[in-house]
Amino acid sequence: MEKGAEIIVRTCARVRASEEVLVVTDDERLPIARAIHEAAAAAGARVVTVVLPPRNMDNEEPPVTAAAAMCAAAVVIMPVTHSLSHTRATREAIKEGARVLSMAAFTPRQLESGGLFVDFPSRKPLCDRMAERLTDAHTVRVTNPSGTDLTFNVQGRRGNSHCCILDGPGFTAVPNIEANISPVEGTTEGILVADGSIPNYGIGVLDDLVTFEISKGFVRSISGGAQASFLKELLRAQADPWVYNIAQLAIGLNPECREFTGEMLNDEGVNGTIHVGIGTSANLGGDVQAKTHFDVVIREPTVVVDGDVVIERGLILEEAKVETTDDRE
């Protein structure tokens, strides 16, 4: 795991000597946290690891003690079982100047193979351009062969380039290189048919399609098999209408995330897939703070931005063009 930990510390978090690094973890991810702790110490950082009490759900706020520590650190790396990405604690830490890197639900495998071993700097230009494209967009339409047909209004919102490299204060998860945007609340319309993965709450790779009916920016119904019923029940139990908010549209851009495995940050990074984030949007430029945030990943999307096809059945056209050019040379 040393090699993977070193990539995260040096390439992604850009840890410098004598910087203060906080590793946030829990009992279950402690072996991964140790690897990160050691890599950061080897980079000359002042490292602190904090082991959180068990939490129940993705993007539930951490204890205030941990939130305070996050605000005080220069770099926060989070190999936790339940994601902390969409929490107030993460947002506040970034406001205080921290570089925050999520490794939610990381597995030892992810430190040894797959998405982490991509050439991150070489993917940055594409990720930045996709984010710009989203910033400039008014309307984005996403369809897929399983029956998804969603229209997002993103006018006035800023696209985020989460390319797994942190040069300054900000957030990224690894190794899911993604460009994303938070659509205007109350505007998303259509049907989302999940046929890839819901890498939260232990659901993972989908056995059956899960269909979300969406109108005026909220999920109105969820149907499908056992996984759909589980999700429906979990969300109902939150007693929070905002957990149904359409929070995020994201494009996965990591060619080394090849298959859906049920590992959250792998699945969200699979190249040319789309995921729709539901719940909290405040860390992405939206206005909603809900009790949780989860993601729905779909296969082979076609993405049309203001009438221009950007992704066609999972093929990122800009990448295809570059490859064609290369072939000609």
Partner 1 sequence: MTVNEIQMVRGARKLLEVCAQVQSGEEVLIVSDDPSVGIARAIQTAAREMGAEPLVTYIVPRARDGQEPPAAIAAAMKAAGVFLSPVGKSITHTRAVKEAVEAGSRGLVLTQWREDMLVRGGIEADFPAIAPICKKLAAAFGRGRRMRVTTRAGTDLEMDIEGRRGNALTCIVGPGEFSPVPTVEANVSPVEGTAWGRIVADVSVPYVGIGVLREPILAEVSEGMITSILGGEQAQLLQSTLDGFGDPMVYNIAEYGMGLNPMARVTGCMLEDEAVLKTAHIGIGTSITLGGTVKAACHYDLLMWEPTVEIDGVVVALHGELSL
Minimum distance from residue 66 beta carbon to partner 1 (Å): 6
Q: How far apart are the first and last CA of the chain?
A: 39
Per CB under 8 A, 70 contacts partner 1: yes
Task: Encode burial over 162-195: b for 16+ CB neighbours within 10 A, e otherwise.
Answer: bbbbbeeebbbbbbbbbbbbbbbbeebebbbbbb
Q: Least Å distance between CB 63 and partner 1?
A: 5
Burial category of 323 from C-beta neighbours within 10 Å (exposed 0-12, middle 13-18, buried 19 and up): exposed
Question: How far, rounded to the nearest angstrom, does the alpha carbon of residue 224 sit from its chain's CA centroid?
Answer: 24
* Residue 289 one-letter amino acid: Q
Cβ at position 44, least distance to partner 1 in Å:
11
Alpha helices for the chain (secondary structure H): 2-6, 30-42, 64-72, 88-95, 108-112, 120-136, 226-237, 264-267, 317-328
The residue among 117, 218, 113 whose CA lies nearest residue 177 is 117
Q: What mask of x and - would describe binding to partner 1 in positions 6 to 35, judged by CB under 8 A?
A: --------------x-x-----------x-
> Among candidates 188, 284, 181, 292, which has minimal Cα distance to 235?
292
- Residue 41 binds partner 1 (CB under 8 A): yes
Q: With CB under 8 A as the contact rule, which of the stretches 60-68, 256-264, 268-276, 298-306 interacts with partner 1?
A: 60-68
Give the residues across from 101 on adjacent strands: 77, 172
Q: Which of 8, 13, 15, 73 binds partner 1 (CB under 8 A)?
A: 73
Does residue 67 belong to the site contacting partner 1 (CB under 8 A)? yes
CB atoms within 10 A of CB 106: 28
Residue 118 lies near partner 1 (rule: CB under 8 A): no
Convert residues 85-114 into a mask of x (bound to partner 1 by CB under 8 A) and - (unbound). ------------------------------
Closer by beta carbon to partner 1, 100 or else 284: 100
The partner residues of 46 in beta bridges, in order of sequence, read 20
Using CB under 8 A, which of the segments 40-48, 127-135, 146-154, 294-302 binds partner 1? 40-48
# binding residues, partner 1 (CB under 8 A): 24
Q: Could you say whether residue 78 binds partner 1 (CB under 8 A)? A: no
Closest CB 171 distance from partner 1, rounded Å:
18
Q: Quick one: 65 or 221, whose CB is closer to partner 1?
A: 65
As measured in angstroms, the least distance from the Cβ of 261 to partner 1 is 29
The backbone region for 309, taken as left when phi is positive above 0, alpha when psi lies in -120 to 50, beta otherwise, is: beta
Which positions touch partner 1 (CB under 8 A)?
20, 22, 34, 37, 41, 46-53, 63-73
